[in-house]
A and B are shown apart, each in its own frame.
Chain A
Amino acid sequence: MAEAPPITPSAVVTETDNATLHQYGAAQDPPVLIIYSLVNRPAILDLSHDRSVIARLQAGGFCVYLLAWHPPGVARRYLGLADYVLGDVGEAIDWVAGRHAQRPHLLGVCQGGVLALCQAAIRPERIRSLTTLATPIATDSADDALGRLARRIDFDALVAATGNVTGEGLATVFASLKPFALGPRRYHGLTALSDADPVARDAFLRMERWMYDGPDLAGQAFAEFAREIYQNNALIRDTLRLDGQPVRLAAIDTPVFNAWAEDDHLVPPAAARALGPRLGGECTEHSLPGGHLGLFIGGRAHKALYPALIDWLRSH
């Protein structure tokens, strides 16, 4: 299945060890660096003309950079969170800061928000601000389905057996949380869709590709993330360390914008809103009705969330 082609034109500006840095927009505008999740592909941020997060930020007057992860091959199964955070994310920040002669705004999406938080906690002085979208911080709430399922699994044993974790396997886990919504209800209108206009058909197929064409995950990074974030609740307990360096949310004194969706079944509101009270600096919060994906492609998000975010970024 081919990856959905991007909507907004971009240029590849550099490569880090495990990612490609794409630039959208003019270099004279202030930079926003997006750190996407290691799960799924960043195409969701640029899935259609009228619902593109990247295009909206660019139109808001920012030069947008996207750090697009390379799927790890078998030789990279031992890549850990420290490699991604201290290596690739740090390198991308330095590169963008050097190019623009100013610190970038860092924007983390879902799991990418955790990676961005880790970087911000260890090197807060390197970024202008931090934005987290649907980012899991506290994973011990009763409605955290992923947190519950993860509780009894020996992730180190799992990846010792599997090596890397397949994208298909993860997509199946996510689909199994909402099998009716993502199964019969989603495909119910297929016949009607075949008669629909090409734009609607293309949008459906793009989303389909995005949902089930996720990249594999480096085994060690997956195990570390699942163990530390979901089993040990390490961000809340201040127990996460990367290469021996502590990741303490209180060390983040840069301004933070934290947004979540009220009906998110993957990152429930309780998981995301736990961030604000634990930060060392100011935190602006924004929640809106809808599910996980609605935060990126929903009409409400594009009407309310992103204009608010752009205003906030401009003011920092």
Chain B
Amino acid sequence: MVSDGSKRQNGSDPGDWAAWLEAFSARADPLGVHALLIRSADALESACSPADALRRLGDAIAAERDARSRQGEQLDALLGQWSSTLQAIAPAFPDAHPADLPSLGPYPRRQDQWRALSEQLDAYQAALADHLDGVTDLAEACLDDLRAELYAPDAPSVDPERLAEHWSAIAEPRYEAWLAEPATERRIGALINAWSALLRTVRALADDCLEGLGLPSARGLDDLAAELQRQRRRQRRETAALRAEIAALRQALHGGGESTG
């Protein structure tokens, strides 16, 4: 909302809002290059001699400079107003982490999903960063050792093959020790678990979209797979019972000895 500062802006005057929006409708030309070209072209078009052209061009540049200066004041006022508006409306919004807020209004399940997505994305990024920090520390330690070896006074001449051998000899035991550390185990576990949670939510959201379009979803396929599995287990149990019955009958029929059925 553009204001000259002489009156307090409270958003009640439609004219203020119109002016505020008008400020955004100006041509996007932050450096004034386009405006300067237009002014210069106009000035040169009406010039009647080279000297006149240079004078008019100078006037055009001065005019553009004045305009830019006025716009700067306007932008400054706009930003100031914007900042104070945000400060004014902040108390009207909840002062809590979104995760702590209950789902309100319609589509509570969808709200839960989006909130979970946001949290899980954060958790995954944090776990990934943690793991990459661990990998980076390991790589840096290995590189430090390799550098020290290469800069040693008695260092042998280096060719690519020997360098690769040196690198493996330095990095392999360090890597295996690093992999065996409880902290590495914790970081890898956290990364995989965060990824699993995130992927599950993304899949659920994708399934919602697909089902909304009447298309097959992974959830639908899972339902079918689960149903097939129930049928398969039932059939297996029934088959096993029948086989046991047949074996018992054979045993009864043929008496002792090694049963093969």
Contacts and interface: CB of A to CB of B under 8 A. Distances in A.
A87 interface: yes
Given A74-B225, A75-B225, A83-B236, A180 B171 contact: yes
B69 interface: no
Nearest to B186: A152
Nearest to A82: B233
A186 to B, nearest CB: 11
B18 to A, nearest CB: 51
Contacts, number: 96
B224 interface: yes
A74 B229 CA distance: 12
B180 A160 contact: no
Nearest to A160: B200
Q: Which of the listed residues B164, B193, B197, B225 has the most CB atoms from chain A within 10 Å of its own CB?
A: B225
Given A152-B185, A152-B190, A157-B193, A75 B179 contact: no
Interface in B109-156: none
Contact of B232 (A83, A154, A158, A185): A83
B189 A153 contact: yes
Given A145-B180, A149-B188, A180-B171, A157 B225 contact: no
Q: How large is the interface on A (under 10, 10 to 19, 20 to 34, 35 or more residues)?
A: 35 or more
B196 A154 contact: yes
B258 interface: yes
Interface in A35-85: 74-79, 82-83
A270 interface: no
Interface string B203-238: 100000000000000100110111011001100110
A163 B240 contact: no
Interface string B159-179: 000001001100110010001
A184 interface: yes
Given A78-B229, A149-B188, A94 B164 contact: no
Contacts of A100: 260
B243 interface: yes
Given A83-B236, A157-B200, A184-B168, A145 B229 contact: no
Interface residues of B, number: 38
B189 A160 contact: no
A93 to B, nearest CB: 10
Contacts of A76: 225, 228-229
Interface string A184-211: 1100100000000000000000000000
Contacts of B203: 161
A184 B169 CA distance: 11
Given A78-B226, A83-B233, A180 B168 contact: yes
A289 interface: no
Contacts of A97: 260-261
Contacts of A152: 185-186, 188-190, 193
Given A77-B225, A78-B226, A161-B196, 6 more contacts: A75-B221, A97-B261, A100-B260, A158-B193, A162-B196, A184-B164
26 contacts: A75-B221, A75-B224, A75-B225, A76-B225, A76-B228, A86-B236, A97-B260, A103-B258, A145-B179, A148-B180, A149-B185, A149-B188, A152-B188, A152-B193, A153-B188, A153-B189, A154-B193, A157-B196, A158-B196, A160-B200, A161-B197, A161-B199, A163-B222, A180-B171, A184-B164, A184-B167
Interface of A: 17, 74-79, 82-83, 86-87, 90, 94, 97-98, 100-103, 145, 148-149, 151-154, 157-158, 160-163, 177, 179-181, 184-185, 188, 243
